[in-house]
Amino acid sequence: MKKIIPSLPSGMRDFTPQQVYERDYILNIIKENFQKYGFEPIETPAIEKLSILTEKYGDEGDKLIYKIINSGDFLKNTDIEDFNDKNKLLKKISEKALRYDLTVPLARYIAMNQDKHPFPFKRYQIQNVWRADRPQKGRFREFCQCDVDIIGTNSILSEVELITMATEILNQLKIKNFKIKINHRKLLKAFSEYINQKDKATLLSITLDKVDKIGLDNVLAELKKNNISDNQINKLKEVLQYKGTNEEILLFLKNKFQNINYALEGLEDIQKLLTYLKFSGVNLNYIKVDPTIARGLAYYTGTVFEIIVENSNIGSIGGGGRYDEMASVFGLKNSYGIGFAFGLDRIWSILKNENLIPRKQTNSTQILITLFDEENMPLLLKLSKEIRKLDINTELYPAPIQIKKQLSYANKRNIPFIVILGKDEITKNKFILKNMKNGEQHFIPIDRIENILNFTSKSKISSY
């Protein structure tokens, strides 16, 4: 057999046991808070029909969907002319794709299961997604999203609840200097009318969303290349460069957009949101009105928000918004929806950089039972079963090798206790429990296994 050099595709990763423990620490806090606010879990397949995913994320998003070639003879329905039209060819050779996010699959799920759930339906979903993006710091081709959504109500209390919950999660994770930037898609749409470029509303939204990534000057230069005049760019620049408190920014935008009714509606929504957040106990120092936030994805219709950590170059750690029309594409009535997602990888990176993840031993085994002789295996198997009944994680070493090597294995695995049961111990109807940290040994009768608990309390051997 030909030798293969092991490697991973670009943008994909393995995780060591220690890394999985660290990520689970974050996930447990997120999940506990999701449940505390009444959200229920669902899961959807990694693979969706390509028709379900496309035309939901905008042209740029659709390019990043991982398409799956049909199984078998995937070219059987094609002819030579199809190879001159990539879109026509794609429809014939690919019917499925890896999910790009968790929101579109949620809309599909709700449309198929709407008779099984009361509305509003509050769900959370923690699963991997895939994007054919260029890998870079904090950005991978496979990553975990922690999604939470409310379907079936257009009440602004949904926005309040999600943002309140997000601040509680970030505070519990001890992340400092975070900001939740808030905008409204009606304000983004208003920019195009404000500079008399209504037909370029989508272009403006996509480009303005890059301010945090490439800077305002580069954004304006990009707009200039798309035939936005100097006068129009100067009008945009005046609005985008304005600094002030949330109240001052809202008043400034109200004056600029006073003749655009839908923009005033968006500003009123943001003002209500700030008011209710204050009543719900959110520290408004965490909240910043930012008219450049667009969230990129085409399905958003109302409030949008993005969570960043100041003085960090890792990008947003979460975001979301209201999408009141997307689910109707799948025939769902009363399709109001809002949600947000945390990016696990970016939160993990920040916590590691700040040393905010509590230490934990790198394995879950608490006792290793050593093996001297295969003849003793039945007794040791029974012993391991009885110890596990005490809710103690227990391993039985699989081979009767030198005790020195078994002890070395326990040390390398950071296993805190070992059990020794040789011929002498069997004769005395006792086994030895040895503390690997301080060397203490205790003789415990085989018929009194529960005595182990006197020496292996949870506080001595456990976790976070």
pLDDT in tens, 247-285: 999 999 999 999 999 999 999 999 999 999 999 999 999
Type of residue found at 132: A
29 and 158 part of one domain: yes
What pLDDT is recorded for position 410?
A: 93
397 and 335 part of one domain: no
Query: Which has the closest alpha carbon to 22: 309, 347, 316, 392?
Result: 347
* CATH number for the domain that contains residue 422: 3.40.50.800
116 in a structural domain: yes
- Res. 123 pLDDT band, cuts 50 70 90: very high
Asked which of 353, 375, 408 is the last residue of a domain, the reply is 353
Q: How far apart are CA 413 and CA 396, in angstroms?
A: 13
302-322 average pLDDT score: 90
28 and 58 part of one domain: yes
| Residue with token string 């898609």 | 185
57 in a structural domain: yes
31 in a structural domain: yes
Q: How far apart are CA 130 and CA 128, in angstroms?
A: 7
- Taking 3-state DSSP, the helix, strand and coil percentages for the chain, each rounded to the nearest 5, stand at 45, 20, 35
For the chain, the average pLDDT equals 89
- Res. 296 pLDDT band, cuts 50 70 90: low
pLDDT in tens, 38-50: 999 999 999 999 9
Q: How far apart are CA 428 and CA 450, in angstroms?
A: 18
What pLDDT is recorded for position 295?
A: 78
| Residue with token string 């301010």 | 211
244 and 124 part of one domain: yes
What pLDDT is recorded for position 338?
A: 94
What pLDDT is recorded for position 383?
A: 94
What pLDDT is recorded for position 391?
A: 92
- Res. 460 pLDDT band, cuts 50 70 90: very low
Q: Which domain, by its residues, includes 94?
A: 17-353
Is 19 buried (19+), middle (13-18) or exposed (0-12) by CB count in 10 A? middle
359 in a structural domain: no
Asked which of 353, 386, 409 is the last residue of a domain, the reply is 353
- Res. 463 pLDDT band, cuts 50 70 90: very low
Distance of CA 6 to the CA centre of its chain: 28
Type of residue found at 336: Y
361 in a structural domain: no
2 in a structural domain: no
337 and 381 part of one domain: no
315 in a structural domain: yes
What pLDDT is recorded for position 399?
A: 92
Q: Give the predicted TM-score (pTM) of the model.
A: 0.85
DSSP 8-state assignment for residue 464: -
Is 4 buried (19+), middle (13-18) or exposed (0-12) by CB count in 10 A? exposed
Q: How far apart are CA 317 and CA 80, in angstroms?
A: 46
Q: How far apart are CA 123 and CA 113, in angstroms?
A: 13
Asked which of 353, 385, 417 is the last residue of a domain, the reply is 353
Q: How far apart are CA 364 and CA 247, in angstroms?
A: 52
- Res. 458 pLDDT band, cuts 50 70 90: very low
Q: How far apart are CA 75 and CA 73, in angstroms?
A: 6
Beta carbons of 36 and 161 less than 8 angstroms apart: no
Q: How far apart are CA 292 and CA 211, in angstroms?
A: 7
Distance of CA 248 to the CA centre of its chain: 34
DSSP for 113-163 reads HGGGS-SSEEEEEEEEEE--PPPBTTB-SEEEEEEEEEES---HHHHHHHH
Say whether pLDDT at 69 is over 70.
yes
179-187 average pLDDT score: 94
411 and 292 part of one domain: no
265 and 375 part of one domain: no
55-74 average pLDDT score: 84
Query: Which has the closest alpha carbon to 129: 71, 64, 69, 56?
Result: 64
What pLDDT is recorded for position 207?
A: 84
More confident residue, 137 or 409: 409
Say whether pLDDT at 335 is over 90.
no
DSSP 8-state assignment for residue 70: P
Beta carbons of 212 and 308 less than 8 angstroms apart: yes
Q: How many domains does the chain have?
A: 2
Share of the chain above pLDDT 90, in %: 59
Least confident residue range of 20-29, 156-165, 295-304: 295-304
Say whether pLDDT at 464 is over 50.
no
127-149 average pLDDT score: 90
* CATH number for the domain that contains residue 133: 3.30.930.10
- Res. 461 pLDDT band, cuts 50 70 90: very low
